[in-house]
Structure 1
Amino acid sequence: MSVLRLAGAVLVDDETVLPEVWVVDGRLAMSPPAGAEDSGAEEIRGWVLPGLVDVHCHIGLGPDGAVTVEDAVLQGKADRDAGTLLVRDAGSPMDNRWVQDRPDMPRLVRAGHHLARPRRYIRHYARELDDVAELPAAVAQEARSGDGWVKIVADWIDRSAGADADLAPLWPADVLADALAAAHEAGARVTAHTFSREAIGPLLDAGIDGIEHGTGMDPDHVAEAARRGIPVTPTLLQVGRFDRIAEQAEGKYPRYAERMRRMHARRYEHVAQLHDAGVPLLMGSDAGGTIGHGSLPAELAEVVRAGVPVDQVLAAASWRARAFLGAPGIESGASADVVVYATDPRRDITALAEPSAVVLRGSRH
């Protein structure tokens, strides 16, 4: 029998703090097993959390599209070592379901391949549909191949407008509504990349299940998302790059550059407005592509900087996100997927940057 004692302060959820939990043959137990005193069990002391959850992470994606399996393993291990033990894939050109078979990699909930249109997203990232009418069938296909999630790209710069180019929706509202209906009929939820204001209304009208970035949401959008409990993933590390994107674009696409600068300037205010309105926030690093893996703790610090209380950010990145995804946290019989910290992350979010122990599937890494 393999036994490990986790002692100190075990943060089960918003209200429950236990003095200890036990790991017995890779599973969590709320009381010591028979013979624990004689088992020579290792003890780890500190503040114990359910493994962190990154709901916007791209294992298998690099700056130029799909990466090698070897590079994807390095990505996943970087996330794991930073305390991220559950990832909701937010789209990858790599068929990364093999990650789910590796005991040394974070648990993965797949969304399949991003859905976009030619020349309306980053090259080599998405499955590009030549005809907008293909979207409902493509969503149904991705729903069948994923783990209950589909990722669509709802807006991007439309360069065909030349100097007047700006962010614009990719899909007609009626096609979008049909696509979400197809996903829901297949038992899947849909989350959407969106920067612009113009794309939000049609997404809400269609019944979107999640919004990624959401930088263009106006007060009416925010109120509606709060009323319906539609979660938003702010990805502040990514939005923090908007000024650089604007600098690169301003010579050729000045309208687009100006909008990106506006959204960059109000990024913290926007996240605070979401929180204050009661919009559920999910935490995602947007790792892959331009953001390095293992960045979730830095993303959480950014959300705290925006004015969201530390305890709320911590909950959103752990037990609340696990409940949202239907994954167990710290409970009897669950896999031992926990992270231990030397100092209390409820007092200082930067504690998450230095886990003292990472236990995944009962094994310490």
Structure 2
Amino acid sequence: MSEVLHLTGTILVDDDTELDEAWVVDGRLSLRRPDSAGPARELTGWVLPGLVDVHCHIGLGADGVVTEEDAVLQGKADRDAGTLLVRDAGSPMDNRWVQERADLPRLIRAGHHLARPSRYLRHYGLELDDVAQLPEAVADQARFGDGWVKIVADWIDRSLGADADLTPLWPADVLRDAIAAAHENGARVTAHTFSHEAIDPLLDAGVDGIEHGTGMDADHIAEAARRDIPVTPTLLQVGRFTDIADQAGAKYPVYAERMRRMHARRYEHVQALHAAGVPLLMGSDAGGTIAHGSLPAELAEVARAGVPAADVVGFASWRARRILGVPGIEEGASADVVVYDADPREDVDVLARPSAVVLRGRRY
């Protein structure tokens, strides 16, 4: 039998439910005192379901796939920051082995990014030579992943020379068939998109999630709210848009100017999403250029944009788990919780300082 833990203080189950105590027995949560569990180690504070990073890339580095050893370090960095559930939003690595590691966050895989040659970061995803291949590729990734598929919906088109800008990768009819193929195979589709032009085709095709979403206008936001389509703002990534614009420089001035505009309005954009009632998901975009373990910094950015701390906490824990279909704090659920010395609903900076991390019943 593993160590028995007695959780006391304020146990945050969801927006409306708090408990005074709970127990961890054999890696599972019990909301009732165990009859004969023996002595228990007490953990006191504000207890949350493990944080959820829905836009994280375990197995991806700046130049593409990393070694398994480095991927383990990525997962441990996320775990130690309190992220105990990851939706891997595309990885060049077949990272199914992560799911067999008890010491790494729970992983929901979206398979490999689907993109086109020269229309995404090199070595990051599967590049389809013919746009007509997308529906079949989506069906393949739906069967390969864990109920999610990641499509790259737009990227800079450098073939336009000085007029190069963000443009959609896929014709609208192909996109519609691709998303239908995912649904037929029991998967949902989330799409990388920075541009305004890619949003209407995605919404018309029935997309299930939007990553970044920096090009959404008021009508797009209203439609996403009406259909409960979650958006992951990835403010740490959007915060890099001025650096990206500087790299584009004089060679791609149209693209550079657009990236600067989106950067300038990033907080206003997140405020608009929240005010409209769009379900927000929290994602660090770790992997590539952003370090793993960065979810608390992302949450601080979302709060800085004007989203109330209590909502940020909910989006990063029980609300995300509800959308992904993974239990949080409930009887018999896996004991995946994070403990803090203060109430993060009052100050999200608290989330950067967990006093205890418990994954599958083991304290780290």
If the length of structure 2 is used for normalisation, what is the TM-score? 0.99
Q: Which residue of 2 aligns with 1:354?
A: 353
Q: Which residue of 2 aligns with 1:345?
A: 344
1:364, 1:279 → 2: CA distance?
35
SS of 2:143's partner is helix
1:20 equivalenced with 2:21 (yes/no): yes
1:315, 1:229 → 2: CA distance?
16
1:323, 1:223 → 2: CA distance?
22
RMSD across aligned C-alpha pairs, in angstroms? Answer: 0.6
1:41, 1:275 → 2: CA distance?
41
Give 1:250 shift: 1.8
1:252, 1:225 → 2: CA distance?
35
1:220 equivalenced with 2:219 (yes/no): yes
Instruction: List gaps (5 residues or longer) in structure 2.
Output: none
Cα deviation digits, residues 190-234 of structure 1 (max 9, x gap): 000000000000000000000000000011111111111111000
Matching residue's letter, 2:11: V
Q: Which residue of 2 aligns with 1:310?
A: 309
Q: Which residue of 1 aligns with 2:272?
A: 273
Map 1:259-338 to 2 at 5 A: 259-338=258-337
Give 1:40 shift: 2.2
Q: Which residue of 2 aligns with 1:126?
A: 125
1:157 equivalenced with 2:156 (yes/no): yes
Percent of pairs with identical residues: 79
Cα deviation digits, residues 120-141 of structure 1 (max 9, x gap): 0000001000000000000000
1:76 equivalenced with 2:71 (yes/no): no
Give 1:32 shift: 1.2
Give 1:301 shift: 0.5
Number of residue equivalences: 363
Instruction: List gaps (5 residues or longer) in structure 1.
Output: none
If the length of structure 1 is used for normalisation, what is the TM-score? 0.99
Cα deviation digits, residues 28-70 of structure 1 (max 9, x gap): 001111135xx22110101000000000000000000000000
2:4, 2:62 → 1: CA distance?
42
Runs of 4+ in structure 1 off by over 3 angstroms are: none
SS of 1:34's partner is coil
SS of 1:284's partner is coil
SS of 1:6's partner is strand
Q: Which residue of 1 aligns with 2:169?
A: 170
Matching residue's letter, 1:46: G
Cα deviation digits, residues 275-305 of structure 1 (max 9, x gap): 0011110000000000000000000000000
2:26, 2:278 → 1: CA distance?
39
1:218, 1:25 → 2: CA distance?
49
Matching residue's letter, 1:11: L
Q: Which residue of 1 aligns with 2:141?
A: 142
Q: Which residue of 2 aligns with 1:29?
A: 30
2:9, 2:222 → 1: CA distance?
40
